[in-house]
Chain A
Amino acid sequence: MSARVEARLWVVQRATAAVLALCVVVHLATIIYAVRGGLSAAEILARTRGSFAWGSFYAVFVIAAAAHGSIGLRAVAMEWLGWGKGSAVALMLAVALTFVALGLRAVFAMVAS
């Protein structure tokens, strides 16, 4: 892996960590607020459907989590499982794309369906 790619992966993971710190706080606060009178799908959808704000918040959350987690898994695969760089990068990309696809599909279902 070239020096430039290593440096960029590092900064992406750092930056997404900062985004996640904020997103997780908002997410947890929302959970506590949302379950105060019992949890129902109808109540959640009433809040999120058609909401551009919630849609963009969770889209950012999904992308940050996918990038952050997959870069970490690449390091885990190389250091702990002894994988080569090529297969570790393939794992990273596969995990990132899967998480982005699943996550954005869920966001879409929550906001636009």
Chain B
Amino acid sequence: MEVKPLLVSVWRGGADGHFEEFEVPRRASQTVLDVVTFIQRHLDPTLAYRFACRVGMCGSCAMTVNGTPRWTCRTHVDKVAKAGRVEIGPLANMPVVRDLVADMREFFDKWARARGQFKPTATRHDEFVVVKPESRERREADAGIECIGCGVCYAACDVVKWKDTYLGPAALNRAWTLVNDVRDGGQRARLAAVAGDAGCHSCHTLMSCTRHCPKGISPTRSIAGLKRATLGVDPGEAP
């Protein structure tokens, strides 16, 4: 029996763009990224999209698939197609560059604003710090460390949508992994940065980030940890 082609609506243009329809042949184990790649290689070479590793490591290919933010390289068409149709758009809560490419500058700038940089306290002449795998800090850091920076949580977050200064789940999750890094020396400034009103206290525990994270991380849990940790913030520290 011949399999019907997939009907795909793809966002074209910038913020004021529109959806364009394509027909893409079905394949076994086809991913949404395969579909987008097929369109660009065979139907319309002007389609703009972003990808790199194709195996769920790099965090480049996240898009909005049928209204839900997803990593497209590891999302099978069989799982998301409804009545033989799929709608693919750029990630929400970010400016559209063109077609399926969202501008992630603000997203990553917020990691920096949340003091997501490691601040070393030792030099190459010091001994290695021993961090026991079973220690509480190591386990807390482990729970959030596998983030690939894909922006799915940020696109799923309602607080990001209505409060554009909010640092967002990914940046706060990053901050929490560093708060639990015993080698880091930037804790006071970090806790002050994430405790401002653009930080962890703006989270309403809606848990969209946790529900949509493709890596199974719970930024909600990390943010709850930050809320507790900020109780010890030094009053003299400016964010």
- Please, how many angstroms separate the alpha-carbon atoms of A63 and B195 in the complex? 26
The binding surface of chain A is classed by DSSP as: helix
Residue A85 is within 8 A (CB to CB) of chain B in the complex: yes
Residues of B211-239 at the interface with A, using a CB-CB cut-off of 8 Å, are 227, 230-231, 233, 235, 237-239
Q: Is the CB of A3 within 8 A of B163?
A: no
Residues of B172-207 at the interface with A, using a CB-CB cut-off of 8 Å, are 191-193, 195-197, 199, 201-202
Interface residues on B, range: 20 to 34
Q: Is the CB of B227 within 8 A of A3?
A: no
B230 in complex: contacting residue of A1, A7, A78, A85, CB < 8 Å:
A7
- Please, how many angstroms separate the alpha-carbon atoms of A2 and B231 in the complex? 12
Q: Is the CB of A6 within 8 A of B235?
A: no
- Please, how many angstroms separate the alpha-carbon atoms of A4 and B227 in the complex? 11
Q: Is the CB of A85 within 8 A of B197?
A: yes
Q: Is the CB of B162 within 8 A of A3?
A: no
- Please, how many angstroms separate the alpha-carbon atoms of A79 and B159 in the complex? 9
B199 in complex: contacting residue of A4, A6, A9, A80, CB < 8 Å:
A6
| Residue interface mask A1-36, B partner, CB < 8 A = 1 | 111101101110000000000000000000000000
CB distance from B188 to the nearest CB of A (A): 10
Most buried by A among B193, B195, B235: B195
Question: Considering only CB atoms, which chain A residue lies closest to B235 in the complex?
Answer: A4
The binding surface of chain B is classed by DSSP as: helix
- Please, how many angstroms separate the alpha-carbon atoms of A80 and B230 in the complex? 25
- Please, how many angstroms separate the alpha-carbon atoms of A70 and B195 in the complex? 20
Q: Is the CB of B227 within 8 A of A10?
A: yes
- Please, how many angstroms separate the alpha-carbon atoms of A93 and B201 in the complex? 19
Q: Is the CB of B233 within 8 A of A3?
A: yes
Q: Is the CB of B237 within 8 A of A3?
A: yes
A3 in complex: contacting residue of B159, B202, B239, CB < 8 Å:
B239
B201 in complex: contacting residue of A10, A80, A85, CB < 8 Å:
A10
- Please, how many angstroms separate the alpha-carbon atoms of A3 and B191 in the complex? 8
CB distance from A59 to the nearest CB of B (A): 27
Q: Is the CB of B195 within 8 A of A4?
A: yes
- Please, how many angstroms separate the alpha-carbon atoms of A6 and B197 in the complex? 6
Q: Please, could you name 19 A-B residue pairs with CB atoms under 8 Å apart, sorted by A? A: A1-B196, A2-B235, A2-B238, A3-B191, A3-B195, A3-B233, A4-B195, A4-B235, A6-B197, A6-B199, A7-B230, A7-B231, A9-B201, A10-B201, A10-B227, A79-B159, A79-B163, A79-B202, A85-B197
Listed in ascending order, the chain B residues whose CB lies under 8 Å from chain A are 159, 162-163, 191-193, 195-197, 199, 201-202, 227, 230-231, 233, 235, 237-239
Since A1-B196, A3-B237, A79-B162 are in contact, a sample of 17 more A-B pairs with Cβ atoms closer than 8 Å, ordered by chain A residue number, is A1-B197, A2-B238, A3-B191, A3-B192, A3-B195, A3-B196, A4-B195, A6-B195, A6-B196, A6-B197, A6-B199, A6-B230, A7-B227, A7-B233, A10-B201, A10-B230, A11-B231
Listed in ascending order, the chain A residues whose CB lies under 8 Å from chain B are 1-4, 6-7, 9-11, 78-80, 85
